Amino acid sequence: MKYDYIIVGAGSAGAALAYRLSENPQTSVLLLEAGSSTHPFSRIPISFGLFINKPGVNWRYFSEPEEGTGNRSIPIPRGKMLGGSSAINGMVYVRGQPLDYDTWSQFGNRGWSWENVAPIFQRMENYSDPGHETRGTEGPLGISEVAEQNPLYEALLDAAVSIGHPRNADYNGPDQEGVARLQATIQGGRRMNTAYCYLKPARRRSNLHIITKAMTHKVRLQGRRCTGITYKKNGKLVEVDCNREVILSAGGIASPQILELSGIGSPEILQQQGIAVQHELQAVGENFRDHLLPRVKWELTVPEISYNTRAQGIGLVGQVLKYFTTKTGFLSLPSSSLGAWLKTRPELETPDIQMQFIPYSVESAEKRKLHSFPGMTIAAFQLRPESLGSVHIRSNDPYEHPAIRFNFLSDAIDVRTKIDAVKMMRAIVDAKPMDPYRSREFYPGESVTTDGEIEKFLREECETGYHPIGTCRMGSGPNTVVDDQLKVHGLEGLRVADASIFPTMPSGNTNAPSIMVGEKAADLIKKSS
């Protein structure tokens, strides 16, 4: 069968794109997903802790060992089911700053300024807290402010304000700076992933065909035109043709991998892996960015304010019962309930770090086992890192994960900003409103104080915020892969629409901008058809 459009990847962007393209009943759309349809726990918010390292729903990528980060192989979880990473992420909803998108526009990307994308964010939102004129309330994507009450949150808010940081009623409004209750893709105690918000209503349409457990091997080219894709399902290779376009929405790691497997990329890299060059495009897999995420942990003096105490033993049973009867409690929470967007230097025009305040502590980001004593965590990342890495195939086998190199902390600005972020986390916790709750910092510990000691902690202990972007960069010139219409340079009938096209890192978690790209791609395709 031939389809008008073939979308590879049913994640944050791909699901939104499929929903919008299939609105026209005269348009046939095939949506391919390498993972499964869903998981029985996927709508329970706390499932992000269960899925962080779970085979079957998670690609479980790992980075290459690099000297700059202690020669560690750092885990990179990515969603592997309908909804993609929106089905396993921490659910924190952040649009980013107007400056982010104005910067994209200033790079020559027409139609990507804040003025252009703000209405798209508004269109996709179903925000349950009306009264903010810049927020959408009728879109597919369910969003709400975290309602959980905890004296710790108020103490942390007061602590931040006491040392000069402002409160912010809506960090997704015109001004991002300040401390705020987080907004999350949660409503009624249920995760609002794109599989539920976009694909569930769209599946009733006869013109949308969704195939799961379909591993895309490559896009097919005839000359300079993309004519279809090849995928494998149930051990059989299948070729599908398209009338109009193929759109890769497989994410910051898999989209460049598919391009290279198709013979699109750097000739040197392709030839090393025995792949014939179909189209030279040097920037494929370059410009890779992610957020390095220091996590600082404290023991608390009041056991009941920490989920280390409230969600273990008989307390856990109570939390489970509470969730299934009222859809509240620990199981209804995102990865964080309170956040802050702050400046490390007062002269900065906009915030350059984001903090997330977490009312529990775990032994490691990967294992997610709660400590036996009451604890809390503050995580912080530099909003717009300068260090650039890469993602490239290591063989011609589609099932072999690519070589992922972060190159974290290779830029001096990144080192300085992250050291300052750790100091600012500590300053908030050391403020007077936290006196009734603060016991001791146990990780990295109170002995880690100098810039050199903090940098050593960053390099040897810290992992990522799980926000891989940039590997199919949008723009013009030799260091880009797609143009401002998301078309792959030099080819017809092939676009990329996901976080891989971000020219720079948006200021915050990347799920919301990824969904926006899927929505925007649909607009661009409809206008060109």
Contact call for residues 76 and 58 (beta carbons, < 8 A) = no
Residue 332 backbone dihedrals phi, psi, to 5 degrees: -95, 0
Contact 335, 48 (CB under 8 A): yes
Question: How many C-beta atoms lie closer than 10 Å to residue 399's C-beta?
Answer: 9
If you search the block for the tokens 């995928």, which residue do you land on? Answer: 231
Are the C-beta atoms of residues 257 and 248 closer than 8 Å to each other? no
Per the listing, tokens 């007077």 go with 432
Omega before 444 cis (within 30°)?
Answer: yes
Contacts of 396 (CB under 8 A, 6+ apart): 261, 273, 274, 275
Rg (CA), the chain: 22
Terminal CA-CA length for the chain: 20
Tokens 């086998």 locate to 397
Q: What angle do CA 286, 291, 297 make, to 5 degrees?
A: 155
Cβ burial of 268 (10 Å; 0-12, 13-18, 19+) is exposed
Contact 475, 487 (CB under 8 A): no
Q: How far apart are CA 111 and CA 198, in angstroms?
A: 24
Q: How is residue 439 written in tokens?
A: 């016991």
- Tell me, yes or no, if 467 is annotated catalytic: yes
CA distance linking residue 398 with residue 342, whole number of Å: 41
- 375, containing H or E segment: strand 375-382
120 Cβ contact partners less than 8 Å away, ≥ 6 residues apart: 516, 519, 520, 523
Of 494, 496, 499, 500, nearest to 521 (Cα)? 496
- Catalytic residue (one of 209, 217, 291, 467): 467
**Residues recognised as catalytic:** 467
